Structure 1
Amino acid sequence: MTASSVTPMQRLKRTSLVTQIIIGLIAGTVLAWLAPDLAKSTEFIGKVFVSALKAVAPILVFVLVMASIANHKHGQQTHIRPILFLYLLGTFAAAVVAVVASTLFPSSLVLSTQDVAITAPGGISEVLQNLLLSVVDNPVRALLNGNFIGILAWAIGMGIAIRHAGQTTRTVLEDLSNGVTVIVRVVIRFAPLGIFGLVASTLSTSGFGALLGYLHLLTVLIGCMLFVALVVNPLIVFWKLRRNPYPLVFTCLRESGITAFFTRSSAANIPVNLELSKRLGLHEDTYSVSIPLGATINMAGAAITITVLTLAAVHTLGIAADMPTAVLLSVVAAICACGASGVAGGSLLLIPLACSLFGIPSEIAMQVVAVGFIIGVLQDSAETALNSSTDVLFTAAACLGEEEKLARTA
């Protein structure tokens, strides 16, 4: 088939989602600049996209987390425990870094709060009370109302219970999880159109100054991820190995992070990480489990995204966030990040869970999710690069640390 015979639809299918999102950003910006009145009419397209995200987010969290726990295999004799500790420590540390950065460099967003009642929590005790009530909420009502904390609690409980069910039941649940993932991918394929409508309507209504807010937000996000990759993670590795961590850090960033940056999928980067682990001489029974597991639960980049965007919404709405609540947000962000979807933009769909800690309703939280998609061309790539490269880094640190410990005691 010659280049001249390729139809526009075929050319569109061959174009990556990242390129399409960039085209949507540029098209929306140009339309808002040249024809602001016409650009305002594209608001409906953005609303449809946001509504689709609201519809898919609750069932996504429920099914994926439940299936992940139900199909978790146990019993292998590996060094998984120290790796799990490093995964959780790194994810929590990343969330804390995001809290500090958001406090020092607060971001503002353009959000519509018309006809939306906002009730700010009175303090950490009220937050904990609301958290407990959300956990024990009716599962059907939690799904209907988008109560992500309740959804997460029921998903964990059901996942643990179904682990004792027959293999057929767990296989059906895994197939259901795959089906939900397909639907999510279909929704996200419409991200370029949704972003086009959101950018065009936002810029035509609020002016091009809105871009400055997005630029600041993106700078805070990428800055946090770079700080974690180049400072926090090396400190954790040094604590584990007691030697210069940077040769290992740069190897993981170069051979895993760069690939993940362009694939934008931790799951797609698993073969790359397995091959790198083999070249590093790590224990095969360990990395064959820890690398796929890390693609699901080691989500430092997702914790940063959830925390920064949530605190940006808090700052925009003028809600006071005391330090205990911010620390609680770090814990929740770390937990949420472990359940982040493996598809592009999966962490953004967990922002409403963190926003609920501050009494921010789902209508506004999903606007924050839409903002995340606007900046997601770079944000999601950097997030995936951090997540995937850290999988190998912490696996290597734990394996080498255990080997050195055995060598000293021998």
Structure 2
Amino acid sequence: MKKLFNKWNKISLVKRILIGLIIGIILALTIPDVAKPIVIFGSLFVGALKAVAPILVFFLVMSAISQHKSGKKTNMKSIIGLYLLGTFLAGLVAVVASFMFKISLTLGAGVNDIAPPGGVVEVLKNLLMNVVDNPVKALFNANYIGILSWALVLGLALKGAATSTKTMITNTADALSQVVRWIINFAPLGIMGLVFDSIATQGIETLLSYGQLIVLLVGCMAFVALVVNPIIVFIGIRKNPYPLVLKCLKDSGLTAFFTRSSAANIPVNMGLCQELKLDKDTYSVSIPLGATINMGGAAITISVLTLAAVHTLGIEVDIGMALLLSLLSAVSACGASGVAGGSLLLIPLACSLFGIPNDVAMQVVGVGFIVGVIQDSCETALNSSTDVLFTAVAELSKNRKEKSKAK
């Protein structure tokens, strides 16, 4: 048994995940009632990641800031710029695609007991209030903006602390990173449970009835991931961008696709940044920040579903309004929570731009939840993999410029 276990661990994680995925699909299509208990594996896997991620981020950021030496430059300005640019371009791609391939929805029952934000001001106010949230409450609720702000403040306060204190914080961060690696080893079982649950509960037939909408959403996300992002990467590193783009999609996007949570995928992204030998002082801050504000996939979802509602109701939209929607979807996406379905609740906000009543907008949200099994998975895969991609691009671009200056 031990030999079998060792052989299994020697197989690459991606191959093991694919095996778990295939088994989950087969069980869901053949014996869903008998195999129902395996759903617990998915719940345990995502639950464990979500449990460890907030405390890991807190200690990693606090350690990085407290150990940071004065005069050492980080790439945070470049990374934030890339996050905002990527989110805006994703929204723009979605708007253009929605005009090229107009889709109408069959609107029926609405979604109950969901309160969307009232406007952009409310979204931004919530973001600012999250910054000053109680630190214990921020950790408990996985409020990453609050966790980041308190980790930054405490890290700065600890810069003058004794070396032994800083070492203890770093050792705690390393121990939590090891815990995450142990959890990731159970990804094949977790993903088997997650994919089984999705297919067994939603059914493939339900998804196929919304085929055109799914194709448009996934097509936009694929275009951003495989065309727009590589162009941004090429401008930054002046090399073939696809090895880096595909590695981020494979190592980060794959797990994010199944966990459907940018927050739960933070530990995975941290590990990938370490593997890429990026600056820990930078990525320990940029990755959790990206899980909050780098939301290209969310901008696509908001734009596509909003314009689908616009086309369904026969509302005329000019180029100016379309560009305004791109900007609004980018700003709103930054306020989307890092949990499954977070972007859908911002659709009524975008719909209000065109005078669409809230009850109709909430029916669009309902459609979003129906296609959410695929839409939210692809959205999270794009969002999360791009966090690592843009962090890497900023550092590689900086290194390239420094080398060219040295010559």
TM range (shorter): 0.5 to 0.7
Question: Could you say which residue in structure 2 is the equivalent of 1:372?
Answer: 368
Write out per-residue CA displacement over residues 50-96 of structure 1, whole angstroms, 9 at most, x where no aligned residue.
xxxxxxxxxxxxxxxxxxxxx99999752101011111111110000
Match of 1:87 in 2: 83
Using the size of structure 1 for normalisation, the TM-score is 0.64
Change (3 A) 1:81 1:74: farther
**In 1, distance between residues paired with 2:320 and 2:268?**
40
User: Which residue is 1:245 aligned to?
Assistant: 241
Aligned to 2:331: 335
Which residue matches 2:396? 400
> What is the match of residue 154 of structure 1?
125
- Residue 340 of structure 2 contacts residue 376 of structure 2 at CA under 8 Å; is this kept in 1? yes
Aligned length: 293
AA of the residue aligned to 1:302: A
Superposition RMSD in Å? 3.3
What is the deviation of 1:385? 0.8
Q: Distance in 2 between the 1:269 and 1:178 partners?
A: 13
Question: Among residues 303, 310, 322, which one is paired with 2:306 in the alignment?
Answer: 310
Q: Residues of 1 paired with 2:35 and 2:348: CA distance? A: 35
Moved more, 302-311 or 399-408: 399-408
**Is the 1:337–1:347 Cα contact (8 Å) retained in structure 2?**
yes
2:124·2:335 contact (CA, 8 Å) conserved in 1? no
Distance verdict in 2 for CA 1:176–1:151, change over 3 Å? farther
Q: After superposition, what is the alpha-carbon deviation per residue over 1:354-399, rounded to whole angstroms, capped at 9, x for unaligned?
A: 1110111211111111101111111111111111111111110001
Q: Take 1:321 and 1:213, find their aligned partners in 2: how far apart are those partners?
A: 27
**Structure 2 residue corresponding to 1:222, chosen from 218, 225, 247:** 218
2:381 pairs with 1:385: yes
1:6-405 equivalences under 5 Å are 11=37, 14=40, 78-112=74-108, 147-156=118-127, 158=129, 162=132, 170-171=134-135, 174=138, 177-178=141-142, 214-405=210-401
Distance 2:311 2:239 in 1: 41
Aligned partners of 2:207 and 2:370 also within 8 Å: no
Identity fraction in percent: 57
**1:226 Cα offset (Å):** 0.5
In the TM superposition, what whole-angstrom CA distance separates every residue of 1:152-184 from its partner, at most 9, and x where no partner exists?
243255457x4xxxxxx63265268459xxxxx
* 1:87–1:297 contact (8 Å) kept in structure 2: yes
Deviations 1:222-272 (Å, cap 9, x if unpaired)?
Answer: 000010010000000011111110111111111111111111111111111
TM-score, length of structure 2 as denominator length: 0.65
Amino acid corresponding to residue 79 of structure 1 in structure 2: N
Structure 2 segments unaligned to the other structure (5+ residues) = 1-32, 44-60, 144-196
**What CA distance in whole angstroms lies between the structure 2 residues aligned with 1:309 and 1:94?**
14
Task: Report SS of the residue matched to 1:346.
Answer: coil
Amino acid in the other structure paired with 2:92: V
The 1-side partners of 2:135 and 2:128 are apart by 18
* Unaligned segments of structure 1, at least 5 residues: 1-6, 18-70, 115-142, 163-168, 180-190, 200-207
Aligned to 1:281, the other structure's residue is in SS state coil
Give the match's secondary structure for 2:138. Answer: helix
> Given residue 155 of structure 1, which amino acid in structure 2 is its aligned partner?
N
Shift of 1:107: 0.8
Q: State the alpha-carbon separation in 2 of the partners of residues 219 and 296 from structure 1.
A: 26
Deviation at 1:144, TM superposition (A): 8.4
- Separation in 2 of the partners of 1:334 and 1:271? 25
